[in-house]
Structure 1
Amino acid sequence: MKTLTLKSFTVLATLVIALAGTCAHAAGFQHGFAADPGGKPLEIGIWYPSQATAQPVAMGPTTMSVAVNGPVQGKALPLIVMSHGTGGSFLGHFDTAIALADAGFVVAAVTHTGDNHADRSRSVDIMDRPRQISRVIDHMLSTWDGYAAINPARIGMFGFSAGGFTTLASIGGVPDFSRIGPMCRQYPDDFACQLVAKSGGSAAVPATSATADVADPRIKAAVVAAPALGFTFAPDGLKDVKVPVQLWRAENDVLVPHPRYAEAVRLALPEAPDYHVVPNAGHFDFLVPCSSALATMVPVICTSAPGFDRAAFHASFDAAVVGFFSKTLKAH
């Protein structure tokens, strides 16, 4: 287990510079859609290395510095797909996406159909999320106009909260949803239990049989932060996971409390993950640091504990994510 300190910020940043070598890039950006035969087109944000000049771009209350539609720079680039938490969007981790693009990765983040900031009608249909991720990978490898620059043997996945669950299912995890009822009777205040209750109870949760064949063998490494429903993978639901995993937990996470979520995942993984516990952090501190406009609109996801510097944490978090994928998705 690792905790992050101010001293580690410099160490990690140095590591990323060393790994990236002379291949530092600006981040190009495109906003588009991936076809989904099983539903509506999937909204995606794509970040990638580019030598074009980055400019501030506003998207609602969010502003990021990117080169919109800049040409892709590089060949045989690794691809990272991103899955957000319940009620989120493709923009939830854009700083991490930019850090990856700056280091030579292509990143495709999806806005999950039926479980996003504008539409939460299918938030409990969590087993449809891995299928959507596979459709995004299909799009990036065959339809995206920069697909020829991607090495299909170098694909990783990043997921937060419900996206962390999505990631675990996508790399071979098999959840046991029969564990939700007993867990929620014991801990009804857990976020997942409240979500199930609002949707009509445990009958709304998919049957275990619905978990078959959602894993995508193209994914070769995974970063999982504050995974939702982590307890559904215990004790042996992750036995078939064969890829390296970096696992994150916020010390003061009240939405997915210790030890039922990330810790359950850590214990169930057949190989010990690269495990990090973030002192004094809350669940939403894994989201990109908020603009003042977003903080006014949605203060609950933007408010950190006294003394916790989300921007400083993200400098270390992004560097650690880049370092992990740089190590595990080496060029063949």
Structure 2
Amino acid sequence: MRISKIGFLIAFALTSISAQAAGLASINVPASDGSPALSGFVWSPCATPPGEVQLGPVALSAVRDCPIAGEKLPLVIVSHGHGGGSLNHHDTAEALADAGFLVVALNHPGDNFSDLSRAGEISIMFQRPADVKHLLDFILGKWSGAAKVDPDRIGFFGFSRGGYTGLVLAGAVPDFRDPTVPCPEPAPICGEIRRNEIPAEPLARDERIKALVLADPLSFFTNKESLKAVDAPIQLWSSEHGGDGVLPASVAALAANLPGKPDFHVVPASAHFAFLAPCPPALASSQLEICKDQDGFDRVSFHRSFDAELLAFFRRHL
């Protein structure tokens, strides 16, 4: 996503998909050791029947600040795309929480709907994986719900740049200089690559993540060598038509080059933003780029099957 207004709308004006009893709470992670402060939402199993939670202009079916039901729960971290936010995939988070998972979705500082200050810089490609590592350190340490988490059952879901983020955390090594990766000017990040202004800092890895679901990931990983260290199981999703800098051919190349065969799905008639939660009517009529799908593609129906496949994958591997 390239415009903060669009990012804001898609982050807050989303419809929910049949949540049964998902608890919903805010999470705030303090800055630490050079890592910025983080914010986001937590979805959790909840024993109380859901009510209406108003977030901006939309009402979600959930229970605000519900006590977390269960012990030693599997955890899934959600990483949004360029200029997105922690509610972009709320339907998926609700489905996982209803099934007994904890889900934490963060807003990446400098690359979210309300703060695009670093979204065009290559440094954000280094910061994003570090954000997730910082978040996990907090969740497993000082977070009030830490005792509810099973540290041996941690998964990750990432869309677009969030998919790139997950691959780095799993051990993939991006090649920003690869000429086969499309990066047209005047995007600032492309100028930085052309001028060789690539940070020298190491990329964050996190072996605590045991399984990943990646939807239309942005890829700087063009060969088997760049992916050879990735050994966690992966469910990989590709839209048929791509968009926003993601090419279906690059997702197919990931499927071919990953050392372990991923659970690979190509979604017929879909474009990139089909992986975002379905838009409510008011947003659908005003933000066609984000909300309008190809003729014959039903985003609501797709998300029912998508969430079910994702849930089944995490149940198998977590």
Question: Which of the five TM-score ranges fits, normalised by the shorter chain?
Answer: 0.7 to 0.9
DSSP 3-state at the match of 1:236: helix
C-alpha RMSD of the superposition: 2.1
**Residues 1:224 and 2:183 aligned together:** no
- Deviation at residue 53 of structure 1 after TM alignment: 2.2
| Structure-2 change in CA distance of 1:116 and 1:204 (3 Å) | farther
- Alignment match of 1:280 (pick from 269, 280, 284): 269
Corresponding residue of 1:79: 75
Q: What is the correspondence of 1:92-241 to structure 2 with a 5 Å cutoff?
A: 92-123=88-119, 124=121, 125-179=124-178, 182-183=179-180, 187=182, 193=184, 196-197=187-188, 200-203=191-194, 207=198, 209-210=200-201, 212-228=202-218, 230-241=219-230
* One-letter identity of the residue aligned with 2:149: I
Q: What residue identity is the alignment partner of 1:312?
A: S
Confirm or deny: 8 A CA contact 1:88 1:117 kept in the other structure.
yes
1:190-245 CA-partner distances (Å, limit 9, x unpaired): xx5457347745258763743x35110100000011011x2434231110011100
Note the C-alpha offset of 1:302: 0.8
CA distance in 2, matches of 1:206, 1:105: 40
Which of 2, 23, 48 pairs up with 2:44? Answer: 48
Shift of 1:276: 0.3
Mapping of residues 267-306 of structure 1, within 5 Å: 267-306=256-295
Note the C-alpha offset of 1:141: 1.3
Q: Deviations over 1:58-92 (max 9, x none)?
A: 22244321110011000110000010000000001
Say if 2:88 is the partner of 1:89.
no
| Alpha-carbon shift at residue 264 of structure 1 (Å) | 2.1
1:27 aligns with 2:22: yes
Structure 2 counterpart of 1:328? 317
Within the candidate set 296, 306, 317, 1:317 is matched to 306
List alignment gaps of at least 5 residues for structure 2: 1-18
1:83, 1:193 → 2: CA distance?
Answer: 25
TM-score (norm 1): 0.83
Deviation per residue, 1:257-304 (Å, 9 max, x gap)? 221x21121122101100000000000000000112333453311111
Report the AA paired with residue 30 of structure 2: A
Contact persistence 1:42–1:113 (CA under 8 A): yes
SS at match of 1:177: coil
TM-aligned CA deviation for residue 157 of structure 1:
0.4
- TM-aligned CA deviation for residue 93 of structure 1: 0.2
Partner of 1:19: none
Indicate conservation of the 8 Å contact 1:44/1:110, yes or no: yes
CA distance in 2 between partners of 1:89 and 1:252 (Å): 23
Q: Tell me how far 1:55 sits from its aligned partner.
A: 1.4
In 2, Cα distance between equivalents of 1:317 and 1:42? 28
Once structures 1 and 2 are overlaid, which stretch shifts more, 101-110 or 195-204? 195-204
List per-residue Cα deviations over 1:125-179 (Å, max 9, x = no partner).
2111000001111121122222111100000000000000000001111111111
Alpha-carbon separation, structure 2, partners of 1:76 and 1:312: 32
Tell me if structure 1 keeps the 8 A contact 2:214–2:234.
yes
SS of residue in 2 equivalent to 1:183: coil
Contact 1:112/1:129, CA 8 A, preserved across alignment:
yes
Mapped to 2, the partners of 1:194 and 1:159 lie a distance apart of 26
Q: Does 1:243 align with 2:232?
A: yes
Tell me the residue number matched to 2:15.
none
Summarize the Cα distance change of 1:30–1:113 in structure 2 as closer, same or farther, 3 Å threshold: same
How much has 1:34 moved relative to structure 2?
1.2
**TM-score normalised according to structure 2 size:** 0.87
User: How far, CA to CA, are the matches of 1:206 and 1:163 in structure 2?
Assistant: 22
Q: Which amino acid aligns with 1:84?
A: H
Equivalent pairs: percent with the same residue? 41
| Residues 93 and 194 (structure 1), Cα distance of their counterparts in 2 relative to 1, 3 Å cut | farther
Q: Secondary structure at the match of 2:166?
A: helix
Cα distance change of structure 1 residues 328 and 120 upon mapping to structure 2, 3 Å threshold: same
Q: 1:197 to 1:309 in 2, by over 3 A?
A: same
Q: Runs of 5+ in structure 1 lacking a partner?
A: 1-23
